[in-house]
Amino acid sequence: MNHHVLQQRLSPGERGIVAVAAGLALLYWLSLWGPDYPGHWLLKASPMLLAATLLARTLSPRFALPLAIGYLAAAGGDIFLALDRDRYLMQALLCFLVTQIAYIAAFSGQTRPLASRWKLWLPALIYAALMYLIMLPGLGSFLLPVLVYVSVLVAMVIAASLVERAPGLLLAGAVLFLIADSLIGLNRFVDSMTVAEPVIVAIYTSGQLMILVGALRALPRR
């Protein structure tokens, strides 16, 4: 395959699976406006499970393996948050940390030099630094863990921006992931600010779906 092609087209089957994942994500988002129901955690995790399966079957193993691990870890984080957002927040964030590390491993397979795309990733670095400073007074014993977490988030955005072929959707998805997690941090560590769960879920899920489509378009296939 010519690795210099800017974008790869999704097959009808791939587009269908992405559409199903998006539809399930929308159903879960709509359900947030009502009471809990049996199996809501599975509905929340199902788009990530579909993404992991699609990527594992489609991309070259060098890229499919870390991305599939990332989406499976994201499904675990989604389940923790769906079961109890307050009680299992730390477990969920650990899952998402695995996701971000896995994405970095995948995105780093074919990259441009760091300085060549600084205009793409520098705004994310500045945003993350500002969010950390806002959270800083309320971090307490979480000061170092949150610093590590934010640093990995930024590294994921940088890695996405450096993907050699058409990083647009990958970068947009990674940025939305960063924004969603920063809003979770504001809810947890800044008493004066509360961001509604549906807003965070919409941003996070949109980001994950963008990363899915972006990976299918930009990363080498089997």
DSSP state at residue 1: -
pLDDT higher than 60, residue 204: yes
What single string gives the DSSP state of each residue in 13-81?
HHHHHHHHHHHHHHHHHHHTTS---TTHHHHHHHHHHHHHHHHHHHB-HHHHHHHHHHHHHHHHHHHHH
Of the candidates 70, 28, 26, 19, the residue with the CA atom closest to the CA atom of residue 49: 70
pTM: 0.91
Each residue's pLDDT tens digit, 43-94:
999 999 999 999 999 999 999 999 999 999 999 999 998 888 888 888 999 9
pLDDT at 193 (0 to 100): 62
Average pLDDT, rounded, for the chain: 90
Rounded CA gap, 98 and 82, in Å? Answer: 18
pLDDT higher than 50, residue 1: no
Of the candidates 50, 43, 46, 56, the residue with the CA atom closest to the CA atom of residue 17: 50
pLDDT higher than 50, residue 3: no
pLDDT bracket for residue 112 (50, 70, 90) = confident
pLDDT bracket for residue 194 (50, 70, 90) = low
Each residue's pLDDT tens digit, 175-186:
999 999 999 888
pLDDT higher than 90, residue 166: no
